[in-house]
């Protein structure tokens, strides 16, 4: 995206378009906005808003990505970090590495996130097993696992809302 296409408007949060914008430009802008919304210090208040940000960031990958949304004790964002990349239908995730990243960022709480390139956000049995392993590992070092969100083209599924956490 060329920087000259958009400029800030007088109304906060709106922009003026100076030249034609392609679909690719729009998707890039959505990802950039989602990244800003998950930046350090931002409080997470609405699950639906978080879902839309995560979907903008992860739904279009053709491979599975496992990421962490690390939070402080007041559930403000410390960092969002992709930690593992996999194949079309899976990613190897290592609890030791997840704990290491949580400790490096001094996270008090964590939201686990991964996408399903198939588009269907329904968690698999392997997803539920992994969630339990990661939750146990993180509990050992005092990091709460608040949720595991699965992202697909059709939306996001919260494993906490489904009763798995």
Residue 2 has pLDDT above 70, yes or no: no
Over the stretch 62-81, which tens digit does the pLDDT of each residue have? 899 999 999 999 888 899 89
More confident residue, 123 or 17: 123
Sign of the torsion formed by the C-alpha atoms of 26, 110, 45 and 148? positive
CATH architecture of 42-158: 3-Layer(aba) Sandwich (3.40)
Q: What's residue 153's pLDDT?
A: 85
Residue 127 pLDDT > 90: yes
More confident residue, 126 or 40: 126
Task: Kindly list the domain boundaries of the chain, sorted by start residue.
Answer: 1-37, 42-158
Instruction: Please state, in angstroms and rounded to a whole number, the distance separating the CA atoms of residues 17 and 19.
Output: 6
- Quote the CA–CA distance of 112 and 106 in Å, as a whole number: 16
23 Cβ contact partners less than 8 Å away, ≥ 6 residues apart: none
pLDDT of 124: 93
pTM: 0.75
Provide mean pLDDT across the span 135-144: 97
114, 120, 126, 131: CA torsion to nearest 10: 40
Helical ranges in 15-144 per DSSP H:
23-37, 47-58, 95-104, 125-140
Per this entry, what is the length of the chain?
165
Nearest CA among 84, 79, 88, 87 for reference residue 130: 84
Nearest CA to 159 out of 125, 128, 115 is that of 128
Res. 45: pLDDT tops 50: yes
Average pLDDT, the chain: 83
């Amino acid at each position: 995206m060329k920087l000259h296409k958009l400029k800030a408007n007088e109304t906060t949060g709106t922009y003026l378009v100076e030249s034609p914008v392609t679909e690719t430009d729009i998707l890039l802008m959505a990802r950039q906005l989602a990244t800003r919304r998950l930046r350090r210090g931002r409080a997470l208040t609405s699950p639906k808003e978080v879902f839309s940000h995560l979907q903008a960031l992860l739904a279009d990958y053709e491979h599975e990505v496992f990421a962490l949304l690390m939070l402080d004790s007041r559930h403000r964002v410390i960092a969002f970090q992709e930690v593992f990349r996999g194949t079309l239908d899976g990613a190897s995730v290592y609890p030791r590495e997840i704990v290491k990243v949580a400790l490096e960022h001094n996270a008090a709480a964590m939201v686990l996130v991964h996408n399903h390139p198939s588009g269907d956000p329904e968690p698999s049995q392997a997803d539920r097993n992994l969630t339990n392993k990661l939750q146990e590992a993180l509990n050992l070092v005092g990091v709460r696992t608040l949720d595991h969100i699965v992202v697909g083209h059709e939306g996001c599924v919260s494993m906490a809302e489904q009763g798995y956490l």
